[in-house]
Amino acid sequence: MARVVVDVMLKPEILDPQGQAVANALPRLGVSEVSSVRIGKRIELEFDGEPDLDRAREIADKLLANPVIESFTLRVEDPS
Amino acid sequence: MSAHRDASHSSESADVEGDGSRRKVGVVTFPGSLDDRDALRAVRLAGGEPVNLWHADADLHGVEAVVLPGGFSYGDYLRTGAIARFSAVMESIVKAAGEGLPVLGICNGFQILCEAHLLPGALARNSHLHFRNRDQWLRVESTTTAWTGGFTDGQEILIPVKNGEGCYVADERTLDELEAEGRIVARYVSGPTGYLDGHNPNGSQRDIAAIRNEAGNVVGIMPHPEHAIEALTGPSIDGLGFFSGVLRHLAHPREVAATTGANA
């Protein structure tokens, strides 16, 4: 199995209301030591043959992330 | 599905058959569109011939302007407007917009126009976490577009806003450019009544409610003009001005003072 994992995150300067909502809920769990929560997406691309990082980068750039508000990282995941 | 849509369209526009002077304005239906029927009705009430376009059909059926309606195309999966951008009809619309076809994107349509790079920036989640649904005062700041020629500069209008992801964001350079080039079409304002929770319903940068491309044929707006076209159901009939505006533009294209021929 050839899997490329793409992580998409809102850029730091873009407000993340979902993350804020979660951060605001943490004190109700008794958690006080977490100062910030940011929420992103993890996307798994399964390739038929060898994982193609260049192809995955093109997919991420054109569709999976919006470069105006998001950044992404990608990596090949070990088949284990 | 497509054939069914065509059939429903022909009955809807039956009352304008035989009137050759009516301009055809298309409204795209994507899977998950909500406000396509209202937009078609707005076109008809403004005096145009509404034509329902289907997302999987690349043929624009001879329309002279296009509305991308509000809703949740493709379930808002991935990001709002992200998947609609790659539909067959959008390929045709992007090409035609480059050649001057007037395009109005409302709410989800605005999100699609940004994803398709016909307009700069993006629509992010509302800054205050809430879906906002209310009647919203706007100040019209650009009347040199294909859609807003019927308004006066600085005119305040009241139309509904309803979105969860209507927070307009762009980098500072883009925002400065939009302001310098007069491409901010409308901003959120307090209006005569004001709002207890602030005049900006979603946290949009610089109170931006609507922008246009350089040529002025493409406009994206977050509030819903198609919901303010009749006294019975809307807070005003201010929204009708967008639809009658494009019809007037099509009849007298020289009245639109496009600043450049290039597109955003």
Domain ranges of chain A: 2-77
Distance of CA B125 to the CA centre of its chain: 19
pLDDT for residue B256: 53
Residue B129's pLDDT is 81
Q: Cβ separation of A68 and B170 shorter than 8 Å?
A: yes
Please name which of B178, B60, B31, B165 lies closest in space to residue B108, comparing C-alpha atoms: B165
B4 is catalytic: no
- Annotation marks residue B130 as catalytic: no
**How many residues appear in chain A?**
80
Half-sphere exposure of B235 (CA within 13 A, CB side): 14
pLDDT at position B254 is: 58
Element (H, E) at B103: strand B103-106
Q: Would you state the structure tokens that stand for residue B45, as one six-digit string?
A: 């009430």
For A31-70, write each residue's pLDDT tens digit. 999 999 999 999 999 999 888 899 999 999 999 999 999 9
- Alpha-carbon span B10 to A79, nearest angstrom: 55
Question: Does the annotation count B181 as an active-site position?
Answer: no
Beta carbons of B78 and A64 less than 8 Å apart: yes
Q: How far is B122 from chain A (nearest CA, A)?
A: 6
Integer Cα distance of B83 and A44 in angstroms = 17
Q: What pLDDT was estimated at residue A2? A: 87
pLDDT of residue B100: 97
Q: What is the pLDDT along chain B (264 residues), one digit of tens a residue?
A: 344 444 344 433 333 334 457 999 999 999 999 999 999 999 999 999 999 999 999 999 999 999 999 999 999 999 999 999 999 999 999 999 999 999 999 999 999 999 999 999 999 999 888 899 999 999 999 999 999 999 999 999 999 999 999 999 999 999 999 999 999 999 999 999 899 999 999 999 999 999 999 999 999 999 999 999 999 999 999 999 999 999 999 998 754 544 444 343
Q: Which pLDDT score is estimated for A46?
A: 94
**Residue of B49, B55, B64, B224 marked active site:** B224
Residues B50, B91 contacting (CB under 8 angstroms): no
Distant-in-sequence, close-in-space partners of B232: CB < 8 Å, separation ≥ 6: none
Asked if the Cβ–Cβ distance from A17 to B125 is below 8 Å, we say: yes
Q: Span A2-77: which CATH code?
A: 3.30.1280.10
The whole-angstrom separation of Cα A61 and Cα A51 is 17
* Residue B143: closest CA among B257, B247, B66: B257
Give the span between the Cα atoms of A78 and A4, in whole angstroms.
9
User: Residue A55's CB: how many other CB atoms inside 10 A?
Assistant: 12
B200 contacts chain A (CB < 8 A): no
If pLDDT is split at 50, 70 and 90, which confidence band does A1 have? low
Residue B66 token pair? 């296009």
**Interchain contact, A17 vs B170, CB within 8 Å:** no
pTM greater than the 0.90 cutoff: no
Give B-chain residues touching A20 at CB under 8 angstroms.
129
B69 in helix, strand or coil?
Answer: coil
ipTM exceeding 0.95, yes/no: no
Closest Cα in chain A to B120: A68
For chain B, domains (ranges, CATH) are 2-9+22-255 (3.40.50.880)
Quote the mean pLDDT of chain A: 93
- DSSP letter string over B180-232? HTT-EEEEE--TTT--TT-S-SS--GGGEEEEE-SSSSEEEESS-GGGSS-TT
